Amino acid sequence: MLDFTHDPAAQSWVASAQLPGCDFTLQNLPLGVFVPEGRDPHPRGGIAIGDQVIDLARLAASGLLAEPAAAACRVAADSTLNAFMAMGKQSWRALRHGVFHLLSSQADGRTQEQMRACMLPLRQADMKMPVDVRNYTDFYTSLHHAVNVGRVMGRENPLTRNFQWLPIAYHGRASSVVLSGTGFRRPNGQSATAERAAPAFGPCRRLDFELEMGFFVGPGTQLGEPLPLAQARDRIFGMCLLNDWSARDHQFWEMDPLGPFLGKNFCTSISPWIVSMEALAPYRVAFDRPAGDPQPLPYLQDAADRESGSLDVHLEVCLQSRRHRAQNLPGDRLTATSFRHQYWTIAQMLAQHTVGGCDLRSGDLVGTGTISGPTQDQAGALVELSRGGTLAVSLPGTGETRTFLEDGDSVSIKGWCEKPGFARIGFGECRGEVLPALDFGVA
Ligand code: CA
């Protein structure tokens, strides 16, 4: 699974890619879609390296890549990455290998000069949605999150009986998936209180973030065709950071007896750069089930998935309030955890999604569900950190506290992988800001 592109000793002639803490190293090569500021307004695919972005439309026209990498580059240069995702593993790998050689410090001076003509600084790239997301599904695969939320909801048994038997999910709303940096209005809706017979209508009072990762489907499947778990891994193109903003008061009122609706459909943010599964390969870890837990049913079991189906991705969430910004402060960290604690793997999620015959399309977005680690300070949402709004979470930078999000709060998710013997790779950032609710003129 590992090859020369994972060699930690490999360096790029792009000097910024070697700086400590750089997310976009030579071993990463994440893909996104951008418009070069002040130039041609047509969106095109790009690959980030250090503080630069490679314009894949220019690279495709440069003649620098040989086949089959050149063909893959022409498709990846499109205004969305859907067609490139549909090409499959061989093409993804061809482009990765071809670009790696061109960016490697082994590349000759003439190649470097030609590559520079295909690149621009990241700060001059106006990032766009990388994928035309036609379907969005959100899973619920953190046992710690499920237990924490179950407790907040006052359930006698916080974990529902199905949780350890299948990866639970609901079909989300693709139209309101937005790119990092997009603000959204605090949603209006119905919420119920124990004291009043009728529900109240108004701005959400329990607005929350959810720390998640997203992954994108590569080659699709046919209607009626289940995807075996052993084949699911090769159908996943790569991953991004995802914030599944949630209106808890609306959600808890409306989702009885069906699933989430307005509590979840007003905004979902994703990071602009998609890190390929190929780049993530060194960070695969064994899928670890606590002793005594039920074993997955046969269609959710696979030797390779058990051996390396989980991923060790460090994740953290920061909140920057208006007061932080006024004082020029970066914000305070709310939580930090790893994706490796999830109870189900991303391949199991795809196998579950298709086992009844539901088809997948290239570029479909799948959310992993909130990522909460085993301890309270590793929880991936405010509803858990504040124990349902009963515990004030402190923001030491400004001395403020939060139980839920306030207007002007900007939430940033960061993710990266590092371990001895391998190069660091990172996802960049997924950020979004809460704007005041629309005024309906009603109490
Ligand atoms: Ca979610």
Residues 395-433: tens digit of each pLDDT: 999 999 999 999 999 999 999 999 999 999 999 999 999
141 and 110: one domain? no
- Are residues 45 and 151 part of one domain? no
Catalytic residue numbers, as ranges: 145
| Ligand 1 centroid from CA 382, angstroms | 13
pLDDT at 442 over 70: no
User: Do residues 316 and 253 share a domain?
Assistant: yes
CA distance linking residue 147 with residue 81, whole number of Å: 37
The reply to whether 210 and 95 lie within a common domain is: no
| Residue 440 belongs to some domain of the structure | no
Q: How far apart are CA 402 and CA 357, in angstroms?
A: 44
pLDDT band at residue 40 using 50, 70 and 90 as cut-offs: confident
Assigned domain for 298 exists: yes
The pLDDT-based confidence of 227 (bands split at 50, 70, 90) is very high
Q: 348 and 252, same structural domain?
A: yes
Q: How far is the CA of 138 from the centre of ligand 1 (A)?
A: 6
In this predicted model, what pLDDT tens digit does every residue of 42-93 receive, in sequence order?
Answer: 999 999 999 999 999 999 999 999 999 999 999 999 999 999 999 999 999 9
Q: Are 156 and 253 part of one and the same domain? A: yes
Distance 11 CA to ligand 1 centre (A): 38
User: Does any domain span residue 166?
Assistant: yes
Q: Dihedral of CA 229/232/234/237: which sign?
A: negative
Residues 111 and 246 in one domain: no
Q: What value does the mean pLDDT take over residues 269-295?
A: 95
**Sorting pLDDT into bands at 50, 70 and 90, what band is 236?**
very high
H/E stretch holding 58: helix 56-62
Q: For residue 312, which amino acid is it?
A: D
pLDDT exceeds 60 at position 162: yes
Cβ atoms of 343 and 349 closer than 8 Å: no
* Residues contacting 49, CB < 8 A, separation 6+: 12, 14, 17, 24, 25, 26, 29, 103, 119
Ligand 1: distance of its center to the CA of 339 in Å? 14
CATH number for position 66:
2.30.30.230
The CATH number assigned to the domain holding 156 equals 3.90.850.10
pLDDT band at 38 (very low <50, low <70, confident <90, very high): confident
Q: Are residues 333 and 355 in the same domain?
A: yes
- 427 in a domain, yes or no? yes
Neighbours of 394 (CB within 10 A): 12
State the distance from the centre of ligand 1 to the C-alpha of 370, rounded, in angstroms: 5
Residue ending a domain, among 111, 128, 145, is 128
Q: What is the mean pLDDT of residues 247-258?
A: 94
In tens, the pLDDT along 295-340 reads 999 999 999 999 999 999 999 999 999 999 999 999 999 999 999 9
CA of 131 to the centre of ligand 1 (A): 20
Centroid of ligand 1 to alpha carbon of 243 (angstroms): 8
Tell me how far apart the alpha carbons of residues 6 and 25 are, in angstroms, rounded to a whole number.
11
Strands (E), 204-253: 207-208, 211-217, 236-243, 246-247
Kindly tell me if the per-residue pLDDT of 1 is higher than 90.
no
In a domain, 441, yes or no: no
121-146 pLDDT, tens digit each: 999 999 999 999 999 999 999 999 99
Instruction: Answer whether residue 39 shows pLDDT above 80.
Output: no
Which of 88, 77, 69, 96 has the alpha carbon at shortest distance from 32? Answer: 77
Ligand 1 centroid to Cα of residue 55, in Å, is 33
Round to whole Å and give the CA distance between 378 and 94.
38
pLDDT level of residue 254 (50, 70, 90 thresholds): very high
Q: Torsions phi, psi of 72, nearest 5?
A: -65, -40
**Interval 188-221: pLDDT, tens:** 999 998 888 899 999 999 999 999 999 999 999 9
pTM of the model: 0.97
Q: Is residue 171 part of a domain?
A: yes
357 CA from centroid of ligand 1 (Å) = 23
Judged against a pLDDT cut of 70, whether residue 443 lies above it is answered with no
Mean pLDDT of 97-108: 98
In terms of domains, do 333 and 232 share one? yes
Same-domain status, 106 and 173: no
Environment class of residue 281 by beta-carbon count within 10 Å: exposed (0-12), middle (13-18) or buried (19+)? middle
Q: Give mean pLDDT, residues 243-251.
A: 97
pLDDT at 388 over 70: yes
8 Å CB contact between 404 and 248: yes
Quote the domain boundaries for residue 187: 136-435
Query: Are residues 212 and 72 part of one domain?
Result: no
Of the residues 128, 152, 174, the one at which a domain ends: 128
Kindly report the average pLDDT of the chain as a whole number: 97
Q: Is residue 58 part of a domain?
A: yes
Q: Which residues pair with 169 in a beta bridge?
A: 139
- Chosen domain end from 74, 99, 128: 128
Instruction: Classify 95 as helix, strand or coil.
Output: helix
Asked whether residue 112 falls in the same domain as residue 221, the answer is: no
Give the pLDDT confidence score for residue 34 in this predicted structure: 98
**Would you state the pLDDT for residue 318?**
98
442 inside domain: no
Checking DSSP bridges between strand 136-140 and strand 365-367, what pairing results, if any?
parallel
Q: Which 3 state secondary structure label does DSSP give 69?
A: helix
Residue 312 CA to residue 287 CA, distance in Å, equals: 11
12, 19, 86, 24: which is closest to 49 by C-alpha?
A: 24
Domain count, the chain: 2
